[in-house]
Amino acid sequence: MAPSHLSVREMREDEKPLVLEMLKASVKDTENRVALHALTRPPALLLLAAASSGLRFVLASFALALLLPVFLAVAAVKLGLRARWGSLPPPGGLGGPWVAVRGSGDVCGVLALAPGTNAGDGARVTRLSVSRWHRRRGVGRRLLAFAEARARAWAGGMGETRARLVVPVAVATWGVAGMLEGCGYQADGGWGCLGYTLVREFSKDL
Protein backbone atom coordinates (compact mmCIF):
# COMPACT_ATOMS: atom_id res chain seq x y z
CA MET A 1 0.00 0.00 0.00
CA ALA A 2 1.11 3.58 -0.61
CA PRO A 3 2.41 5.48 2.41
CA SER A 4 -0.10 7.77 4.09
CA HIS A 5 2.24 10.76 3.80
CA LEU A 6 2.28 10.53 -0.01
CA SER A 7 -0.08 12.85 -1.88
CA VAL A 8 -0.82 13.59 -5.54
CA ARG A 9 -1.50 17.10 -6.84
CA GLU A 10 -1.14 19.11 -10.04
CA MET A 11 2.39 20.05 -10.99
CA ARG A 12 3.47 23.60 -10.25
CA GLU A 13 5.32 25.57 -12.91
CA ASP A 14 8.45 25.84 -10.77
CA GLU A 15 8.56 22.03 -10.55
CA LYS A 16 8.70 21.56 -14.31
CA PRO A 17 12.54 21.37 -14.62
CA LEU A 18 12.71 18.72 -11.89
CA VAL A 19 9.92 16.69 -13.48
CA LEU A 20 11.58 16.87 -16.90
CA GLU A 21 14.83 15.58 -15.42
CA MET A 22 12.89 12.74 -13.80
CA LEU A 23 11.31 11.77 -17.12
CA LYS A 24 14.65 11.90 -18.95
CA ALA A 25 16.32 9.76 -16.28
CA SER A 26 13.50 7.22 -16.50
CA VAL A 27 13.82 6.97 -20.28
CA LYS A 28 17.60 6.65 -19.96
CA ASP A 29 17.13 3.70 -17.59
CA THR A 30 14.95 1.97 -20.18
CA GLU A 31 16.37 2.89 -23.58
CA ASN A 32 19.43 0.60 -23.54
CA ARG A 33 17.32 -2.45 -22.64
CA VAL A 34 14.76 -1.62 -25.32
CA ALA A 35 17.51 -1.08 -27.93
CA LEU A 36 19.11 -4.42 -27.01
CA HIS A 37 15.74 -6.17 -27.25
CA ALA A 38 14.91 -4.56 -30.61
CA LEU A 39 18.28 -5.09 -32.28
CA THR A 40 18.68 -8.73 -31.29
CA ARG A 41 15.49 -9.78 -33.10
CA PRO A 42 16.27 -11.89 -36.23
CA PRO A 43 14.89 -9.38 -38.81
CA ALA A 44 16.90 -6.56 -37.23
CA LEU A 45 20.05 -8.67 -37.27
CA LEU A 46 19.52 -9.44 -40.95
CA LEU A 47 19.04 -5.77 -41.80
CA LEU A 48 22.16 -4.80 -39.85
CA ALA A 49 24.17 -7.51 -41.62
CA ALA A 50 22.92 -6.33 -45.03
CA ALA A 51 23.75 -2.71 -44.20
CA SER A 52 27.24 -3.68 -43.04
CA SER A 53 27.85 -5.67 -46.22
CA GLY A 54 26.83 -2.71 -48.35
CA LEU A 55 29.00 -0.29 -46.42
CA ARG A 56 32.06 -2.49 -46.89
CA PHE A 57 32.07 -1.43 -50.56
CA VAL A 58 32.03 2.23 -49.55
CA LEU A 59 34.12 2.41 -46.40
CA ALA A 60 37.75 1.39 -46.18
CA SER A 61 37.41 0.13 -42.62
CA PHE A 62 35.74 -3.23 -41.98
CA ALA A 63 35.21 -2.34 -38.30
CA LEU A 64 33.51 0.94 -39.22
CA ALA A 65 31.24 -0.81 -41.72
CA LEU A 66 30.29 -3.29 -39.00
CA LEU A 67 29.70 -0.79 -36.18
CA LEU A 68 28.15 2.17 -38.01
CA PRO A 69 24.74 0.54 -38.71
CA VAL A 70 24.53 -0.65 -35.09
CA PHE A 71 25.37 2.82 -33.77
CA LEU A 72 22.78 4.48 -36.02
CA ALA A 73 20.09 1.94 -35.11
CA VAL A 74 20.70 2.34 -31.35
CA ALA A 75 20.64 6.14 -31.74
CA ALA A 76 17.34 5.96 -33.63
CA VAL A 77 15.71 3.81 -30.92
CA LYS A 78 16.95 6.11 -28.15
CA LEU A 79 15.86 9.29 -29.90
CA GLY A 80 12.44 7.79 -30.58
CA LEU A 81 11.93 6.88 -26.91
CA ARG A 82 13.14 10.27 -25.70
CA ALA A 83 10.82 12.09 -28.10
CA ARG A 84 7.86 9.93 -27.03
CA TRP A 85 8.36 9.77 -23.25
CA GLY A 86 11.16 12.15 -22.30
CA SER A 87 9.09 15.34 -22.35
CA LEU A 88 5.90 16.65 -20.79
CA PRO A 89 2.75 16.56 -22.93
CA PRO A 90 0.45 19.59 -22.94
CA PRO A 91 -2.48 19.48 -20.50
CA GLY A 92 -5.30 17.40 -21.98
CA GLY A 93 -8.96 16.84 -21.30
CA LEU A 94 -8.18 15.07 -18.05
CA GLY A 95 -6.04 17.87 -16.61
CA GLY A 96 -2.57 17.50 -15.16
CA PRO A 97 0.26 16.70 -15.27
CA TRP A 98 0.28 15.55 -11.64
CA VAL A 99 3.12 14.87 -9.27
CA ALA A 100 3.44 12.56 -6.29
CA VAL A 101 4.80 14.46 -3.30
CA ARG A 102 6.03 13.15 0.04
CA GLY A 103 5.31 14.91 3.31
CA SER A 104 8.77 16.48 3.16
CA GLY A 105 7.81 18.21 -0.09
CA ASP A 106 9.99 16.00 -2.31
CA VAL A 107 8.53 15.36 -5.76
CA CYS A 108 8.97 11.63 -6.32
CA GLY A 109 6.75 10.79 -9.30
CA VAL A 110 4.87 12.23 -12.27
CA LEU A 111 1.68 11.25 -14.10
CA ALA A 112 -0.01 12.52 -17.25
CA LEU A 113 -3.26 11.35 -18.84
CA ALA A 114 -5.05 11.87 -22.12
CA PRO A 115 -8.37 10.76 -23.60
CA GLY A 116 -8.32 7.79 -25.97
CA THR A 117 -8.39 8.43 -29.70
CA ASN A 118 -11.91 7.07 -30.25
CA ALA A 119 -15.11 7.08 -28.24
CA GLY A 120 -15.12 4.22 -25.78
CA ASP A 121 -11.33 3.94 -25.69
CA GLY A 122 -11.24 5.39 -22.19
CA ALA A 123 -8.25 7.27 -20.82
CA ARG A 124 -4.57 6.65 -21.52
CA VAL A 125 -1.54 7.11 -19.33
CA THR A 126 0.92 9.13 -21.40
CA ARG A 127 3.54 9.56 -18.67
CA LEU A 128 4.11 7.55 -15.50
CA SER A 129 7.53 7.86 -13.93
CA VAL A 130 8.94 7.47 -10.44
CA SER A 131 12.24 8.94 -9.29
CA ARG A 132 14.90 6.24 -9.00
CA TRP A 133 15.42 7.26 -5.35
CA HIS A 134 11.78 6.55 -4.48
CA ARG A 135 11.08 3.31 -6.31
CA ARG A 136 9.60 0.24 -4.60
CA ARG A 137 7.94 2.46 -1.99
CA GLY A 138 4.38 2.47 -3.30
CA VAL A 139 4.69 5.63 -5.41
CA GLY A 140 3.83 3.93 -8.70
CA ARG A 141 0.77 2.24 -7.21
CA ARG A 142 -0.38 5.52 -5.68
CA LEU A 143 -0.12 7.29 -9.03
CA LEU A 144 -1.91 4.41 -10.75
CA ALA A 145 -4.77 4.55 -8.23
CA PHE A 146 -5.03 8.29 -8.80
CA ALA A 147 -5.09 7.73 -12.58
CA GLU A 148 -7.92 5.22 -12.22
CA ALA A 149 -9.94 7.65 -10.11
CA ARG A 150 -9.45 10.43 -12.68
CA ALA A 151 -10.40 8.06 -15.51
CA ARG A 152 -13.62 7.08 -13.73
CA ALA A 153 -14.55 10.70 -13.06
CA TRP A 154 -13.78 11.73 -16.64
CA ALA A 155 -15.79 8.84 -18.11
CA GLY A 156 -18.76 9.71 -15.91
CA GLY A 157 -18.57 13.37 -16.92
CA MET A 158 -18.45 12.43 -20.59
CA GLY A 159 -21.41 10.08 -20.29
CA GLU A 160 -19.34 7.03 -21.20
CA THR A 161 -20.95 3.66 -20.49
CA ARG A 162 -17.72 2.29 -19.03
CA ALA A 163 -14.47 3.62 -17.60
CA ARG A 164 -11.23 2.20 -18.95
CA LEU A 165 -7.55 2.96 -18.45
CA VAL A 166 -4.75 2.01 -20.85
CA VAL A 167 -1.10 2.01 -19.78
CA PRO A 168 1.72 1.57 -22.35
CA VAL A 169 4.82 -0.22 -21.06
CA ALA A 170 8.18 -0.75 -22.79
CA VAL A 171 9.01 -4.44 -23.18
CA ALA A 172 12.15 -4.14 -21.05
CA THR A 173 10.38 -2.77 -17.96
CA TRP A 174 9.31 -6.06 -16.42
CA GLY A 175 8.75 -4.54 -12.96
CA VAL A 176 6.09 -2.14 -14.25
CA ALA A 177 4.36 -4.92 -16.18
CA GLY A 178 4.29 -7.05 -13.05
CA MET A 179 2.80 -4.23 -11.00
CA LEU A 180 0.05 -3.69 -13.58
CA GLU A 181 -0.82 -7.38 -13.75
CA GLY A 182 -0.97 -7.45 -9.95
CA CYS A 183 -3.47 -4.56 -10.10
CA GLY A 184 -5.77 -6.40 -12.51
CA TYR A 185 -4.50 -5.08 -15.86
CA GLN A 186 -4.23 -7.32 -18.91
CA ALA A 187 -1.90 -7.03 -21.89
CA ASP A 188 -3.95 -5.80 -24.83
CA GLY A 189 -1.99 -4.98 -27.98
CA GLY A 190 0.97 -2.69 -28.43
CA TRP A 191 3.28 -1.37 -31.11
CA GLY A 192 6.76 -2.03 -32.43
CA CYS A 193 8.59 -2.68 -35.70
CA LEU A 194 9.51 -5.58 -37.98
CA GLY A 195 6.71 -7.61 -36.45
CA TYR A 196 8.13 -7.44 -32.92
CA THR A 197 6.49 -5.62 -30.03
CA LEU A 198 8.53 -2.89 -28.33
CA VAL A 199 5.74 -1.36 -26.25
CA ARG A 200 2.90 -3.40 -24.78
CA GLU A 201 -0.39 -1.83 -23.78
CA PHE A 202 -2.11 -2.94 -20.57
CA SER A 203 -5.77 -2.09 -20.02
CA LYS A 204 -8.34 -2.41 -17.27
CA ASP A 205 -12.07 -1.77 -17.11
CA LEU A 206 -12.67 0.29 -14.01
Asked whether the predicted pLDDT for residue 197 surpasses 70, the reply is: yes
Could you tell me the pTM of the whole model? 0.79
Q: How confident is the model at residue 146 (pLDDT cuts 50, 70, 90)?
A: very high
Nearest to 140 by CA among 130, 131, 149: 130
Chain segment 125-139, per-residue pLDDT in tens: 988 889 888 888 889
Q: What is the DSSP letter of 100?
A: E
94 Cβ neighbours under 8 A, 6+ residues apart: 113, 114, 115, 123, 150, 151, 154
Domains of the chain with CATH codes:
16-85 (no CATH), 89-203 (3.40.630.30)
Give the model's pLDDT for residue 2: 46
Give the model's pLDDT for residue 90: 72
Chain segment 106-120, per-residue pLDDT in tens: 899 999 998 877 767
Chain segment 162-172, per-residue pLDDT in tens: 889 999 888 77
Counting Cα atoms < 13 Å in the Cβ hemisphere of 174 gives 2
Give the model's pLDDT for residue 165: 92
Mean pLDDT estimate for the chain: 83
Asked whether the predicted pLDDT for residue 73 surpasses 50, the reply is: yes
Chain segment 74-88, per-residue pLDDT in tens: 888 778 777 767 677
Alpha-carbon torsion angle 47, 48, 54, 56, nearest 10: -160
pLDDT above 70 as % of the chain: 92
Chain segment 42-59, per-residue pLDDT in tens: 888 888 888 888 888 888
